Structure 1
Amino acid sequence: MLHRRKFIQLSSLGAGSLIASKSFGIKFKNNKVIKPVVAATWNTGIAANIDAWKILSNGGRALDAVEKGVMVTESSINCCVGLGANPDRDGYVTLDASIMDEFGNAGAVAAIERIKHPISVARKVMENTPHVLLVGEGAQQFAVSQGFPLESKSLSPEAELEYKEWLKTSQYKPKINIEQTGTNPTAFAPLKLSNGDWNHDTIGMIAIDAAGNLSGSCTTSGMAFKMRGRVGDSPLIGSGLFVDNEIGAAVSTGLGEEVIKTAGTHTVVEYMRHGYPPEEACKAAIQRVIKRNSIEKAKTFQVAYIAINKQGIVGGYAIQKGFNYAVYSNEINNKLIDSKYLY
């Protein structure tokens, strides 16, 4: 709950006096609205932002931008997002995605196989069905009916090597910041972290367009070597993604189970509704995750959020050091920002 004094302090800031993260070095004043803006999780967001910005900078709709942006990452053939990703423990690559527009419409798919662009199928669910979420075989059947081709069942060479290595012990031990990639933000070749683990998992994207409308997207292969049928937060509206065009938008990354249990992105947006700037809203939502866990347990996993408000201000926050996100606007030329964090 918000304490009365804290709420009054935050409300008194007003939209015009909000200041972006110090990492940006930019102050927004005189009620200036910064738009368009796009932001995406991790440094794979740099390349994804480029395609999104092409749409936004030409007056395009935020919804189109967040779809096209994450398609860049879905197209990469590696152990990260997309069909090249590491499989579940039974050897199948299953993908999840969600998308949400400025009208509150949403679509999602979960545990879909052999479809290159689940984010585009999620948009078709939003636009062409009365539903929000389709899963598994039904999601695949719908995708085919909408003209999406079925891709190969085979694992990418890199993922096959990793899977064979994993089978030697069959241990499931998710690592903190395993989503984070290497130093080259435009390289999609699979890169190993210092502890020997492959990068993988999620890209989330949020944007405000020139008309001042918000949209968001999220796409993932889920955790490597997860249980067959496991679905995380990414395709769940209010967990991995939430958009309220009057207030702002947020996306998550990290341990999906913890995001789901706190309705993470909806929580972030609700804090912004009560006057919190994006970074502070993300921090408050992170503290909600910590509250339901011991500090010792919370230090063993990562959860991170990024958010954008109607002024075009972007902020992020994480449990652990190591999370970053990319921001592109007329003022910020596709810059990678190291998120603030608790531990």
Structure 2
Amino acid sequence: MWGIIATWRMAFDGVTVASQLLKEGVTVGDAIESAVRLVEDNPVYKSVGYGGLPNIQGAVQLDAAYMDGDTYQIGGVAGISDVKNPISVAKQLSKERFNSFLVGEGARDYAVLNGFDIQNMLTDRAKAEWEKRLKEVQKNQLNPYDGHDTVSMVGLDVSGSMATGTSSSGLFLKQPGRVGDSPLSGSGFYVDSEIGGAAATGLGEDLMKGCLSYEIVRLMKAGYTPQEACNQAVYDFDARLTKRNEKAGAFSLIAMDCNGAWGVATNVEFTFVVATENQRPTMYVAIPAEDNQTNIEPITEEWLEQQRKNPTVD
């Protein structure tokens, strides 16, 4: 059995490629790396990799992580600049016994020394949006933060190995050096090949308060299905966070267990992509429902057309 689940519809092409690789017996780590790289390389997506929206100073600082579910090895980078594929750096770092999580200049230096592709990650389109948004914020006293859509993936290969990967440019107009949940184990991702894995997207500052990816894996270990685990973790924490702080930021979690079953929960409208041995790559939309449940429906052409007219999610 093999399978892969990923956040946001921007992951569709990557999941399609990864599903073919997994079908051919490629390891889950290599399949996930290939899938995330496709998202990182596409300048259309404004929250990941090349074309990602910059921080308040106009610099693109990227976060990424990789975890091997067989060994618990984790690699991560945060605030890395001018590196084409942060997920590949994170995956290589996961093989290091020490110094496996690097930030800022140290992460960039490691990438340079190890031969990773270096390039300016700020596109003309992203720079124009940055300039426009700065003017709007200054003129209208708006909240500057807009967009924090991490591409996150959890996968299973035919040998039973599991892995997870994340990549993000973080909050638009974030402060220099700001790091969200995406590269942080337990918050942005977690995986154990004997149980399953989970990964997150959303407002990192709130996701970090709940360590929801680890919590979902813990619940699956306790016997919950992936969907039950997602519902329990996400809606319980959303309620507690709202009670204590009057509001909770947007967050969504995906999960897959060691048998290829999957689940999703969210406190906003959220799109995701799934492919398994028994299911071709399919895009879904998830919406929170009553009684701590999640409504999940395949994305239709009508839904896509509505989003083209009035886009609200990636």
Task: Tell me which interval the TM-score lies in, with the shorter structure as reference length.
Answer: 0.7 to 0.9
CA distance in 1, matches of 2:243, 2:9: 28
Q: How many residues align?
A: 284
- State the partner residue of 1:29: none
Instruction: Looking at secondary structure, tell me which structure has more strand per residue.
Output: 2
* Superposition deviation, residue 295 in structure 1: 5.5
* Contact 2:145–2:173 (8 Å) recurs in 1: no
Q: Percent identity?
A: 34
Summarize the Cα distance change of 1:285–1:298 in structure 2 as closer, same or farther, 3 Å threshold.
farther
* Contact 2:152–2:201 (8 Å) recurs in 1: yes
Q: Choose the corresponding residue for 1:337, options 268, 279, 284.
A: 284
- State the partner residue of 1:328: 275
* Superposition deviation, residue 251 in structure 1: 0.4
Summarize the Cα distance change of 1:275–1:94 in structure 2 as closer, same or farther, 3 Å threshold.
same
1:252-271 equivalences in 2 (<5 Å): 252-271=200-219
Summarize the Cα distance change of 1:223–1:308 in structure 2 as closer, same or farther, 3 Å threshold.
same
* Contact 2:153–2:165 (8 Å) recurs in 1: yes
* Superposition deviation, residue 297 in structure 1: 6.1
User: Is 2:60 aligned against 1:93?
Assistant: yes
CA distance in 2, matches of 1:94, 1:301: 22
CA distance in 2, matches of 1:340, 1:165: 31
Q: Choose the corresponding residue for 1:110, options 67, 72, 78.
A: 78
* Superposition deviation, residue 342 in structure 1: 4.5
- State the partner residue of 1:47: 13
TM-score normalised by structure 2 residue count: 0.86
- State the partner residue of 1:163: 130
Q: Which SS does the other structure have where 1:334 is aligned?
A: strand
User: Is 2:165 aligned against 1:226?
Assistant: no
* Contact 2:187–2:212 (8 Å) recurs in 1: yes
* Contact 1:307–1:314 (8 Å) recurs in 2: yes
* Contact 2:144–2:173 (8 Å) recurs in 1: no
1:203-282 equivalences in 2 (<5 Å): 203-282=151-230
CA distance in 1, matches of 2:97, 2:113: 12
- State the partner residue of 2:307: none
* Contact 2:5–2:153 (8 Å) recurs in 1: yes
Amino acid in the other structure paired with 2:110: F
Structural RMSD (CA): 1.8
Amino acid in the other structure paired with 2:105: E
User: Is 2:35 aligned against 1:75?
Assistant: no
* Contact 1:259–1:289 (8 Å) recurs in 2: no
Write out per-residue CA displacement over residues 110-150 of structure 1, whole angstroms, 9 at most, x where no aligned residue: 00000010000001111145233100000000010110132
* Superposition deviation, residue 299 in structure 1: 5.7
Q: Which runs of 5+ in 2 are unaligned?
A: 291-314
Write out per-residue CA displacement over residues 19-42 of structure 1, whole angstroms, 9 at most, x where no aligned residue: xxxxxxxxxxxxxxxx21111101
CA distance in 1, matches of 2:270, 2:117: 34
- State the partner residue of 2:266: 318
* Contact 2:260–2:276 (8 Å) recurs in 1: no
Q: Choose the corresponding residue for 2:143, options 172, 175, 189.
A: 172
Q: Which SS does the other structure have where 2:280 is aligned?
A: coil
CA distance in 2, matches of 1:296, 1:162: 35
Q: Which SS does the other structure have where 1:147 is aligned?
A: coil
CA distance in 1, matches of 2:75, 2:235: 28
Q: Which SS does the other structure have where 1:308 is aligned?
A: strand
Q: Which SS does the other structure have where 1:77 is aligned?
A: coil
TM-score normalised by structure 1 residue count: 0.79
User: Is 2:289 aligned against 1:289?
Assistant: no
Amino acid in the other structure paired with 1:150: I
1:121-132 equivalences in 2 (<5 Å): 121-132=89-100
- State the partner residue of 2:308: none
* Superposition deviation, residue 288 in structure 1: 3.7
* Superposition deviation, residue 298 in structure 1: 6.8
User: Is 2:149 aligned against 1:149?
Assistant: no
**Which segment is superposed worse, 104-113 or 143-152?**
143-152
* Contact 1:290–1:298 (8 Å) recurs in 2: no
Write out per-residue CA displacement over residues 256-285 of structure 1, whole angstroms, 9 at most, x where no aligned residue: 111111111001100111111111111111
CA distance in 1, matches of 2:85, 2:167: 9
* Superposition deviation, residue 330 in structure 1: 2.7
* Superposition deviation, residue 51 in structure 1: 1.8
Q: Which runs of 5+ in 1 are unaligned?
A: 1-34, 179-199
CA distance in 2, matches of 1:174, 1:300: 15
